[in-house]
Amino acid sequence: MLIIKNLTIENFRGIRLPLTMNFTKGGKPTSVIVYGRNGTGKSSIVDAWEWLLTCKIDALRKEGVSEKDFPHKSSGGDNSFVQLELNHPTIKAVKSKFNKNKITSPLYEGNYSEFKALCQHPNHLRYADLQAFVFKTKTDKYKYIARYFGLENFSKNQEGIQFAFNKVNTLLQIHQADLQKRTSEIKALIKHNEIDDVAILEYINSIATRYSLPSIKSFSEHKQVDDGLAKIVGKNPVTQELVIWRSFLTKLTNFYPGDVNEAECKQLKDAYEDLRKDAESIKLLILSSLFENSLEILPKLDDPNKCPVCNKPFEGDLYKHIEAQHSVLKQLNSKKREFDRLKNTLENNFKALERKLKDVQKDPSQLVLDTYGYFFTCVEKLGAALPGIVNSFKGELKDLQAVDICSQEGFSYIVNIQGLELEIKRQVKERIVKLETDENSKTLASDYRDLSFVCKGYIEYKVLDTKVAYLGRVYGYLEKVFNELTLHIQSKIQNIFNAISADVVDYFNVLEGHNPYIKNPELKLMAGKDKAIELEIEFASEKVIPAFKFLSESQVNSFGLSIFLASVKHFNTSFKFFILDDIVNSFDAYKRPRVAQLFATKFSDFQILLLTHDQVFFDSIQRDFPEWQRYKFTGWDYTTGPKISLARNYVEEIRKQVEEDNPSVAGSILGRYIEWILGQLNQRMETPITYRVENIYTMMEFYNPLVKRFKDKLKKSDKVHVLLQYFDDFDTSTIFRNYCAHYKNEATPFTATEISEILNKWLVIEENLFCKDCKSFIQYKSAGDTYIKCECGKLDLRDDVHYN
Amino acid sequence: MNDFSQWLENLKQSNDEIRHSVEKLETFFNADGFNTQEFESILNKGLKSIEVSVPKKIMMPTDANN
């Protein structure tokens, strides 16, 4: 069994100085919780772990961040590493070091391969992964499941084949369309239902016969007829000229209308000038996403008027200030998107124009050149000016000084060429009509054109036909393998889920068991869809799919978390460890303690690394698991990374203040602590409390009703409950009542001894109300028999053992 | 050999048709997934080769064609 001793990260992402998390305490393996606000470097830990295992960070890759950005910026890639020390007979340590010479291949030290063999399955979960599970499509759920069921390789290959499939399919459709077009054109000319060597030969020989040229025996000899006909055309000046003008008219038809127009160029200029009105704002566009994140984070902070980046207070409403800044940038962003769209369209149009200029200039006859010299001069000059015109608007927005395509040198040729369209076409058509009055010349010109078209077209037809057959075969191979792979993944998913479903249901029930209407979560593969998974739940005894018809986001998160934990347990049997990064974000306050209960009851033999920015959750875990290593990231600095200290739970903090003879501080913390615990106990005991419309309560208004509640529910005629004796002792032998009345007043002179006494006596009471096994307080239930028990039932207050 | 490679090997044993398809594609599979870049490159080479070979073949005298 792999057991972690410590994890050290240096010069990686937001971590500069070596950060070591110790996974032992008192010589025994333990878990770790890290508390820190957003921006203090917690996620760098998960990034480091993912990189250690996979040499990638998927979450960053999706945002366009590459491996070269993984080391801390000031390290330059030197001494950037993640190191794990382990307790194992043969695997003592593993280290992954950033490799400047090949950034995608870290340098491994220690027993890395052995370690990887025991840790094949992803064992870290970010909040974003859970969100994907909740909010994303059936296909995204499929990817999530495939990843956590050890099918990531299969799923990636499936995605790749699908991509290839789509590519081949697109090409096939294009070529099939071209083939169909070519087929109809050739059939129309050869007047035959089939296109094959025989039909083509028949056609060519019919032309040969018409002009008394020798017949040919195979298509490969078609040039003989072609050349023979060309000689006859050469002797017929009318036909020659007709061929020339017809060819030029075809080129003009393909050339016009132009792809670039003045109106679009002016639109781009206007869009640019609108953006440049506020030049400073262009630079601020890069801050847009920072503002968006701030708006999401600020409401969750204790002090929303303190900057989460520099921790300095802001005068005024920080949220409103950032909202206003973001709104300005939002409009700018929208304008920039429009500018980019216009720019890209024009770039493509200019590319198309460039191609057309080349085509229209290809092999022009001297007659055409002499007749339309001005047109060809404009075409030539425009071709030379095009690169300069395109460069004038092609760059990045921040580098462009001005955008005015219409004023660029050479742009006037576009206008000139467009102006010539109608007149040139009219003139050429007139010439053709005049020349076609000679029927023989007209027929000869048509035959010459058609023969050339059929011969060239038949070669193109054969090429297209072969390509279509080739693509069809490739499509067939892809289809067969894709179908087999899909069937395999689907059945594997179903089999694995069946294997872990008992655990999934078990964990889900710990998290959601308080809700009697929701049961038996299941995964369902969608019939007829190759990559789609949906969640099914039993709601009020009825199977419902998709589950979030009736489940909240928090409940679906519970489902996702249950699947992750069940998978880790199932797959990594020799490495009982997982990381959870901010996964309670969407959990209601009442459910967060259930996460602790889940760890205590189902994963007590695991090492866990828990990262959170939730102070209340952190306090709960600190209280419930004092044996864990507990770290607090109090800030972040570019030169050092996270500012880290060992955290103390409430009790530890109070004792420290008592030790340092700070009774006022100790008393204040104690008051907050007892109020917190009283709140939980009153909720679980369903204590009736007198309502106050002003919502201000003293501690006694929580304490007295609770004691009365216990007295009422633990009454037995002939015996006294030990808990009531402890309450009695607490009341009479300490200054608790006096303390309750005055603890919020800093000037009140309690002594450290008095505070310590209250704490110790209170902890005795608490010990009798809290189950160390399932990490839950007792709860009052009256369904049939009244009972007051913890979640696992081990602590039953109405058991005789608690009575004297 | 990882799970996926093993699965491919097993697939080849299922029947001739599948084996043939797998053999045509197996060079593109790797740990990072189906190598779409390599596949596209080979596909485009195949198409380019048709553009060269078919006209050449069609222009050969009939005896050579047969």
pTM of the predicted structure, to 2 decimals: 0.68
Q: What pLDDT digit, counting tens, does each position of A564-598 carry? A: 899 899 888 899 999 999 988 778 777 888 899 99
Residue of A169, A463, A486 for testing the chain B interface, max B β-carbons within 10 Å: A463
Between CA A57 and CA A494 the distance in angstroms is 28
Q: Among partner residues A221, A463, A476, which is closest to B55 by beta-carbon distance?
A: A463
pLDDT of residue A310: 66
Q: Which residue matches tokens 């016009």? A: A256
Looking at the complex, does the CB of residue B52 fall below 8 Å from at least one CB of chain A? Answer: no
Nearest Cα neighbor of A84 from A1, A6, A3, A2 is: A6
Residue that is written with structure tokens 């087929």 in the block: A183
Shortest CA distance to A743 belongs to which of A651, A658, A672?
A672
- Chain B residues lying within 8 Å of A471, measured CB to CB: 47
User: Which pLDDT value is given to residue A124?
Assistant: 92
- DSSP designation for A228: H
The answer for A157, left when phi > 0, alpha when psi is -120 to 50, beta otherwise, is alpha
Find chain B residues with C-beta within 8 A of A163's C-beta: 34, 36
Q: Does B58 touch chain A (CB under 8 A)?
A: yes
Distance CA A646, CA A632 (A): 6
Interface membership of A475 toward B (CB under 8 Å): no
**Is residue B12 within 8 angstroms of chain A, CB to CB?**
no
- Tell the burial category of A537 from Cβ atoms under 10 Å away from its Cβ (0-12, 13-18, 19+): buried
Sign of CA dihedral A313, A314, A320, A321: negative
Cis peptide before A257 (omega within 30 of 0): yes
Q: Which residues of A touch B55 (CB under 8 A)?
A: 459, 462-463
Of A238, A248, A246, A240, nearest to A438 (Cα)? A238
* Those residues with Cβ within 8 angstroms of residue A538's Cβ, 6 or more apart along the chain or in another chain: A518, A519, A520, A544
Q: How much is the pLDDT for A280?
A: 65
CB proximity B59 to A under 8 Å: yes
With b for 16 or more beta-carbon neighbours within 10 A and e for fewer, the A124-150 pattern comes to bbbbebbbbbbeeebebbbbbbbbbbb
**What is the distance between the alpha carbons of residues A681 and A675, in angstroms, rounded to a whole number?**
10
**Number of helices and strands (H, E) in chain A?**
26, 20
User: Are the beta carbons of A156 and B28 separated by less than 8 Å?
Assistant: no
CA atoms lying within 13 Å on the CB side of residue A712: 12
- Verify whether the Cβ–Cβ distance B55 to A488 is below 8 Å: no
A146 close to A33: Cβ distance less than 8 angstroms: no
- Whether residue A459 and residue B47 make contact (CB cut-off 8 A), yes or no, is no
**Cβ separation of B43 and A474 shorter than 8 Å?**
yes
d(CA A198, CA A204): 10
For A220, which residue in chain B has the nearest alpha carbon?
Answer: B59
- Partner-chain contact A164 B29, CB within 8 Å: no
Q: For position A442, what pLDDT does the model report?
A: 92
Residues A652, A649: Cα–Cα separation, whole Å? 5
Q: How far apart are CA A2 and CA A324, in angstroms?
A: 52
Q: What is the pLDDT of residue B66?
A: 43
The DSSP-derived string for A11-56 is SBTTB-S-EEEE-EETTEE--EEEEE-TTSSHHHHHHHHHHHHHS-
The beta strand positions in A58-185, using DSSP E, are: 81-87, 93-97, 107-110, 124-126
Q: What is the pLDDT of residue A285?
A: 65
Question: How close does chain B come to A216, measured CA to CA in Å?
Answer: 11
pLDDT the model gives residue A529: 57
Asked if B47 and A467 count as a contact pair (C-beta separation under 8 A), the reply is: yes
Burial of A263 (0-12, 13-18, 19+ CB in 10 A): exposed
ipTM exceeding the 0.95 mark: no
CA distances from A416 to A253, A382, A419, A421, B9 (A): 17, 10, 5, 9, 66
Interface check for A454 against chain B (CB to CB < 8 A): the answer is no
Sort strands A81-87 and A3-10 into parallel, antiparallel or unpaired. Answer: antiparallel
Q: Are B31 and A153 in contact (CB under 8 A)?
A: yes
Is the pLDDT at B65 greater than 50, yes or no?
A: no
E strand or H helix that includes residue A668? helix A663-685
Taking one residue from A and the other from B, the number of pairs with CB-CB distance under 8 angstroms is 94
Q: Shortest CA distance to A665 belongs to which of A733, A760, A748, A765? A: A748
Rounded to a whole number, what is the largest CA-CA distance in chain A? 134
Question: Quick check: B33 and A153 in contact, CB under 8 A?
Answer: yes
In A669-741 the beta strands, taken as DSSP E runs, fall at: none
Pair A259, A349: CB distance under 8 Å? yes
In the sheet that holds A3-10, the strands lie side by side as A19-22, A3-10, A81-87, A93-97, A107-110
- A466: number of CA atoms within 13 Å, CB side? 18
Q: Do A168 and B40 touch (CB under 8 A)?
A: no
A260-314: per-residue pLDDT in tens?
888 889 999 998 888 877 666 666 666 666 777 777 667 656 567 777 666 677 8
Question: What is the model's pLDDT at position A93?
Answer: 93
Q: Cβ of A164 and B39 within 8 Å?
A: yes
- Reported as a pLDDT band with limits 50, 70 and 90, residue B64 is very low
A36: its two tokens: 């820190």
Averaged pLDDT in 10-residue chunks for chain A of 804 residues: 94 92 93 91 92 86 80 89 94 93 90 88 86 72 78 85 92 95 94 91 94 93 93 92 92 84 89 78 65 69 67 78 78 83 90 89 87 91 91 82 87 88 91 92 93 94 96 94 89 85 88 80 71 79 80 83 90 92 82 90 94 90 93 88 90 93 89 92 93 86 93 88 92 81 71 90 94 92 82 90 88
Copy the structure tokens of residue B45: 């080479």
Rounded to whole angstroms, what are the CA distances from B13 to A49, B18, B19, B21?
Answer: 39, 8, 7, 12
Tell me the residue type at A688.
P
